[in-house]
Amino acid sequence: MDTLYLDNAATTPLHPRALAAMMPFLEGKFHNPNSIYGPARAVRQAIDEARAVVASAVGARADEIFFTGSGTEADNWALNGTLTASPEKRHIVTSSVEHHGVLYTCRALEKRGYDVTYLPVDSDGLVNPDDLREALRPDTALVSVIMANNEVGTIQPLTALSEITRRNGTPFHTDAIQAVGHIPVDVNELGVDMLALSAHKFGGPNGVGALYIRKGTPVFPLIYGGAQERGRRAGTENAAGIVGMAEALSLTIGEMPHEQPRVTVLRDQLIAQITKKIPHVKINGHPTKRLPGNVNISFRFIEGESLLLHLDMQGCCASTGSACSSGALEPSHVLTAMGLPHGLANGAIRFSLGCGNTDADIGRLMAMLVPSVERLRAMSPLYDDFLRKGEK
Amino acid sequence: MEYSQKVIDHFMNPRNVGEFENADGVGTVGNEKCGDIMRFYIKVKDGVITEARFKTFGCGAAVATSSIATEMVRGKTLQEAVLISNKAVMDALDGLPAAKAHCSCLAEEALHAALRDYAQRSGVSIEGLKPAQVKDHGH
């Protein structure tokens, strides 16, 4: 049974050309790039070239890109490093629909005495710039708003938000981990001071990410040690990972002009098929300001995990919201912030399409989904109650 | 998190899904907020549970515990049925992941809710019957 992989927002398969680019650094070119001899200088040069590729992919300068061990580390660094650099400032503004990498960092900072304002979102998951304007205080150290949400795919109006912070010089960070490689990202158009990205979301390897830090933004290190990354992120560089990330990013940016519209069409086909063939569903997230591959749907009267298990038994990989919270009992904080009642939030499934998916996959999924939803509804007491009320 | 083969079997091929037109006892427990709702139906003859059916909204563990509980009560006297613990339900499924242990409690509560309903309707008393929980939907 061929696996039907529809969980590209959790992680993507490693691109064969990224793997090929990595191999020399896993085999012969093992040398520490911080050493002085010739073979080490070759590794250093490969890292520098990769930095230039990643920088140009997001419209930054090479000396504004710092490699990290993950996107989550980049988020942690942006928040903690900014606060450490401005100890007199005690307030953070973020959204109520952040990935856990930012959300749980903020919760930890609250325990350390910081004030955090969580901006509300509308029913599509969008932050209102007026709410940001009202939330800013003289002691606001930074604003962090996710560029594109990992669960529902909603793309935030970052340019409008960063215009507000720019006026009083408050640093603006964005978690762009779901966006980079999928939609155009330019740090100057967005007006952001920091931006986190992660290689394994666009065909690169796990275990490597990057933080963009605009020149002049005060950010202290998160990790101390050697002088790697110009003294701002210690730890011997993951040369293979960094080279693999740059290769994958370069490929995905090159393919974006045709892949972005192609995947968007697939997404809209899937949404149209589900809403046509399955009654009592709700599409979560914005209809158009949405990541090309994201489909998040609540199936009324059934619980998300039971549907995922059914799909799993038929070889389909999908997710309930965030991959990180599978196994959690709490309904998604993102769907709850968007005002979904618990019943609908518990029945939400995320299908995330990627470059490996075709329209044949949509047909395969529908052939599994329709009978699975019917079977689970047939055993649902909530569906019984609904039918009885309907008859009255 | 991994489910045992038995949980997967009872989830994919649930036994005794449905209801009875003339059930002798019906009990519903749980709520949408906690993510699981179980409704248990029993038929009773001469103090013995002859058949049980269920409808469940919930995760794989919730469906599996409901399914196996309907098998476990069949042929039991009311007095025997009341002694089926959540641990017995869990053991019968070769265990549940720690995060899902509460589902087996829900199965026990659903059974007790159905037995309470029967006891009330027929005026019999069953020793060891647990009182209704606040979160009961009632019937």
SS3 per residue for A224-274: CCCCHHHHCCCCCCCHHHHHHHHHHHHHHHHHHHHHHHHHHHHHHHHHHHH
The stretch A139-155 carries a mean pLDDT of 98
> Which chain B residue's Cα is nearest to A341?
B33
pLDDT digits (tens, 9 = 90+) for A274-312: 999 999 999 999 999 999 999 999 999 999 989 999 999
**Per-residue confidence (pLDDT) for residue B129, from 0 to 100:** 86
Task: Please enumerate residues of B whose Cβ is less than 8 A from a Cβ of A.
Answer: 1, 3, 8, 11-12, 14, 17, 19, 28, 32-39, 54-60, 62-63, 97, 99
DSSP assignment of B31-80: ETTTTEEEEEEEEEETTEEEEEEEEEES-HHHHHHHHHHHHHHTT-BHHH
Active-site residue set of B: 34, 103
What's the pLDDT tens digit per position in B54-69?
A: 999 988 899 999 999 9
Catalytic positions of A: 324
* Contact assignment for B11 to A378 by CB distance below 8 Å: no
- CA-based radius of gyration for chain B: 14
Q: What percent of chain A has pLDDT over 70?
A: 97
Average pLDDT value for chain B: 89
CA of A299: which chain B residue's CA is closest?
B57
Who among A313, A327, A346 is closest to B35 (CB)? A346
The DSSP 8-state label assigned to residue A316 in this structure reads E
Chain A contact set for B28 (CB, 8 A): 381
pLDDT bucket at B31, cuts 50 / 70 / 90: confident
* Record: contact A310-B12, CB cut-off 8 A: yes
Query: What pTM, to 2 d.p., does this model score?
Result: 0.92
- Please answer yes or no on whether A329 and B60 come within 8 Å at the CB atom: no
Inter-chain CB proximity A313 and B12 less than 8 Å: yes
pLDDT at residue B134, as a whole number: 59
Q: Given pLDDT bands bounded at 50, 70 and 90, which one contains residue B103? A: confident
pLDDT in tens, B105-132: 889 999 999 999 999 999 888 888 888 8
Taking contacts as CB-CB distances below 8 angstroms, the residues of chain A near B36 are 303
Q: Do B55 and A380 touch (CB under 8 A)?
A: yes
* Mean pLDDT, residues B32-52: 89
Q: Tens digit of pLDDT for each residue in B5-26?
A: 999 999 999 999 999 999 999 9
**Per-residue DSSP letter, A199:** G
Mean residue pLDDT of chain A comes to 95
Decide if A381 and B34 are in contact by the 8 Å CB cutoff: no
Sign of the Cα pseudo-torsion (A37, A35, A57, A247, in order) = positive
Instruction: Give A379's contacts in chain B (Cβ within 8 Å).
Output: 14, 17, 54-56, 63
- Tokens 């919730």 locate to B62
Mutate which: A379, A380, A384, A388, vs B, most B CBs within 10 A = A379
Contacts of A358 (CB under 8 A, 6+ apart): A266
| C-beta atoms of A331 and B99 within 8 A | no
Average pLDDT over residues A16-29: 97
Helix (H) or strand (E) holding A82: helix A71-85
Burial of A375 (0-12, 13-18, 19+ CB in 10 A): middle
Rounded to whole angstroms, how far apart are CA atoms B111 and A261? 53
Return the SS3 of B116.
helix
Which residues in chain A have their CB less than 8 angstroms from residue B54's CB? 379
